Structure 1
């Protein structure tokens, strides 16, 4: 419950207020200049703020209303060990391995070096997909002390990034169909040992 505190009226309060009002009415040049400076700073920063906001991708604002099924066909797994984990991202936030930031995540088993994953009811828009060969089944991409992935992974549009994580803008694609099949090839950062299955080109 909100508590309201009321100050009791005393004789002479009105006169004090009038006197203070006359004192406060005297213009303060320093305060006026500071207000102008703050206003100019906000005015100058507005274009930068507008660009920053508009740069954030919006997956559906420029697309008609509709839904469809996105099918991921991932190939090139060097073994059937573990599981395949596919994440669908609508923005660059968390891409490619922060599954908590993904729109959806699907996990499937692997057979004969390939797997097929389905995302039904996907709103038309722009997305990017990452697929992880989660060989130890922990649901997390393993990395070395440099932050580089040590497990196989694949990215939509198959961008080639030798240093650092893949860029969302390079991996994004337009989705506007009742059904679309998106092929993704799994790549491995480490050298393959003897007897490992080769990636199909």
Structure 2
């Protein structure tokens, strides 16, 4: 009999948990070392390692374009709990993509956690961070090869 009395209580608790709002966070990204204030900064917040750092085919990614002249701090609000990485491109000619010359980036780039850059882009794991409902701040230093 005691077990039957607990079951309805447990079910009500589960329903309340399902209805509880998801706690989101705000992500502030401080950007330094921009070569110029020309063009835009393209920001991609992705949770899918398969689409990092080029998230153009990632339908779930949050993509933001900010004028380079206003890109000292980029704020991404309402980020749900999970594991993410951010890739940034300084799109100086405002054509909406990273321009290459002989497979090398002609425009600036940066990533959360500022991983070392070797041959090719960094892996998702080296730029990843976890959102658990607390607001986060990251400083990203842009890099230029050409």
**TM-score, normalised relative to structure 2:** 0.77
Specify every segment of 5 or more residues in structure 2 that has no aligned partner in the other structure, as ranges.
1-21
Q: Tell me the equivalent position of 1:184.
A: 140
- In the alignment, does 2:52 pair up with 1:100? no
**Corresponding pairs, count:** 124
More strand by share: 2
Taking the aligned partners of 1:189 and 1:110, their CA distance within structure 2 comes to 18
Partner secondary structure for residue 117 of structure 1: strand
Residue 109 of structure 1 is aligned with which of 34, 45, 67?
67
Residue 125 of structure 1 is aligned with which of 82, 97, 102?
82
Residue 32 of structure 2 is aligned with which of 70, 75, 79?
75
What is the Cα deviation at residue 143 of structure 1? Answer: 1.5
Partner secondary structure for residue 50 of structure 2: coil
* 1:111-132 Cα deviation digits (max 9, x unpaired): 38x5221111110111000111
Q: Tell me the equivalent position of 1:56.
A: none
Residue 84 of structure 1 is aligned with which of 38, 41, 52?
41
Q: How does 1:160-179 map to 2 (within 5 A)?
A: 160-179=116-135
Taking the aligned partners of 2:116 and 2:33, their CA distance within structure 1 comes to 16
Q: Tell me the equivalent position of 2:13.
A: none
* 1:140-176 Cα deviation digits (max 9, x unpaired): 011223x332210001111112211111111101122
Partner secondary structure for residue 108 of structure 1: strand
Taking the aligned partners of 2:55 and 2:82, their CA distance within structure 1 comes to 20
Residue 106 of structure 2 is aligned with which of 127, 150, 159?
150
Specify every segment of 5 or more residues in structure 1 that has no aligned partner in the other structure, as ranges.
1-64, 191-201
Taking the aligned partners of 2:138 and 2:122, their CA distance within structure 1 comes to 18
Is the 1:97–1:141 Cα contact (8 Å) retained in structure 2? no
Is the 1:152–1:186 Cα contact (8 Å) retained in structure 2? yes
Q: Which runs of 4+ in 1 moved over 4 A?
A: none
